[in-house]
Structure 1
Amino acid sequence: MGLQIQQIDPKKTALLVVDMQNDFVAPGAPLETAMGQEMLPRLKKVLEFSRNKGISVIYTAHVHREDGSDMGLYGEIYPPVADRACLIDGTPGTEIYPEVAPLENEIVIKKHRYSAFFGTDLDIILRNQRIENVAIVGLTTEDCCFAAARDAMYRGYRVAFLSDVTGTYDYGDIGFGKVPAEEVHRVCLTILGGSTAHVMTADEFMQKVEDSVGVEQV
């Protein structure tokens, strides 16, 4: 059956906006992810809703130093990273895409690996805010969003993974055939839903928050 979240108390919930950076979202970017553009209207809606309901909004940004000292194996895996064409801290490409940019008081976690928890103070921030639920949106489904969901679950947070506000890109053939983004996304959602998180749509997430608020008012 997997994890089921019946209600989502906004006071105990954080919306984790994963890597919605220019280098992933902007048209023609080195790591352009088409599903990132497609989800923008829904992400804007979820952001506005979350802010209005008092849900903590936290962003992540995947960055590396220009000298490569924190790059690890990413330079071998992703040629644009090795070439310093993207994800270099302090460059415009690492900034959050303007249409969904954080407000002045919202935290941006800089990370150097897929998971937002690895080598960062995210867990400390969430615990200080007494967060129990983490709702995940952003890019990419199978890498940074998946890793954040797993690490959040390991730490005891109940994870809501928003199926229509996450996305990825097409995978080329490395010996098993090409895999379109939609298929990568579908399979990852199935895995997460069975092992890690409650996979739900943006509308379902917002309704669960509304239901929780309604219970408090009774």
Structure 2
Amino acid sequence: MSKPSLLVMDMQNGIVSRFQANPELLLPFQKSVETARRYNIPVIFVRVAFSEGYPEVSPKNKSFSQIAQFGGMTVSDHVTQIHESVQPMNGEPVVTKYRVSAFAGSNLEVILRAKQIDTLILTGIATSGVVLSTLREAADKDFTIKVLSDACIDADPEVHRVLMEKVFPRQADVLTVDDWIGGLDSMTKE
């Protein structure tokens, strides 16, 4: 019997705000969180944020050095807090990472090992960022992986499609939130 956990990655105010013109995009995230809670599957939230003064940011890091230069994205900033559509409940960890992968510089693996989690169910923004990087690292760490395709968003729909159809299936089961729920429902009826 596997022991899964749902990872809700980079669903933070500053990232979700890029997609607020299309609020129905958030519904699969909400549905996956509600379902995990209903089935007592641990939910772990992952965000990217930095300490005051940005000691974690190298000037060689093309993405994050811009943040250090212009400010924002510190652990206390509004933009790094988990979006209200999927607010963590008491006891649900919020992991802070310092790079793209959910594992990079965070305590995620310690939490997963402590809870004896062996299966990760991935959701997040962006498909080509946190989802891709976390999937690759999780596969190298021998986790079983599921990706909820409609609870992942990318600014480039073609990149999202290629990753879901051609890249991710090599290391993960790719399914919709409804298909995942159907599998959970059928397991409880057995």
TM-score normalized by the length of structure 1: 0.79
Quickly say closer, same or farther: Cα 1:127–1:78, change in 2 above 3 A: closer
Equivalence for 2:58: 72
Q: Give 1:169-180 correspondences, 5 Å limit.
A: 169=155
How much has 1:39 moved relative to structure 2? 2.2
2:59 is the alignment partner of 1:59? no
Partner Cα distance (2:132, 2:42) in 1? 20
> Residue 138 of structure 1 aligns to a residue in which SS?
strand
For the pair shown, the structure with the greater C-alpha radius of gyration is 1
> Would you say how many aligned residue pairs link Structure 1 and Structure 2?
190
Q: Which of the numbers 137, 157, 179 marks the counterpart of 2:123? A: 137
Flag structure 2 segments of 5+ consecutive residues without an equivalent: none
In 2, Cα distance between the equivalents of 1:88 and 1:98? 18
Counterpart-to-counterpart distance in 2, 1:50 and 1:98: 17
Whole-Å separation in 2 of the counterparts to 1:36 and 1:148? 25
Query: What is the distance in 2 between the residues matched to 1:25 and 1:83?
Result: 22
The one-letter code sitting in structure 2 at the alignment partner of 1:199 is V
Q: TM-score, normalised by structure 2?
A: 0.90
Contact 2:19 2:25 in 1 (8 A): no
Q: Which runs of no fewer than 5 residues in structure 1 stay unpaired?
A: 1-8, 27-31, 170-180
The change in CA–CA distance for 1:190 and 1:120 in structure 2 (over 3 A counts) is same
Amino acid at match of 1:207: G
**Mapping of residues 27-66 of structure 1, within 5 Å:** 32-33=18-19, 37-66=23-52
Which of 137, 144, 153 aligns to 1:158? It is 144
The residue aligned with 2:134 is 148
Q: 1:74 to 1:138 in 2, by over 3 A?
A: farther
Supply the distance in 1 between the matched residues of 2:60 and 2:88 (Cα, whole angstroms): 26
Amino acid in the other structure paired with 1:155: K
CA distance 1:113–1:50, change in 2 (3 Å): same
Equivalent of 2:89, from 103, 119, 122? 103
Any idea what SS the aligned residue of 1:115 has?
A: coil
Q: Residues 36 and 14 from structure 1, CA distance in 2 versus in 1: closer, same or farther, beyond 3 angstroms?
A: farther
Q: Deviations over 1:117-142 (max 9, x none)?
A: 12222112112212121000111101
Is this contact kept in 2: 1:74–1:82, CA < 8 A? no
In structure 2, C-alpha distance between the alignment counterparts of 1:154 and 1:34, rounded to whole Å: 34
Q: Does 1:15 align with 2:1?
A: no
Q: Sequence identity, in percent?
A: 27
Distance in 1 separating the partners of 2:147 and 2:172: 6
| Structure 2 CA distance for aligned equivalents of residues 16 and 73 of structure 1 | 29
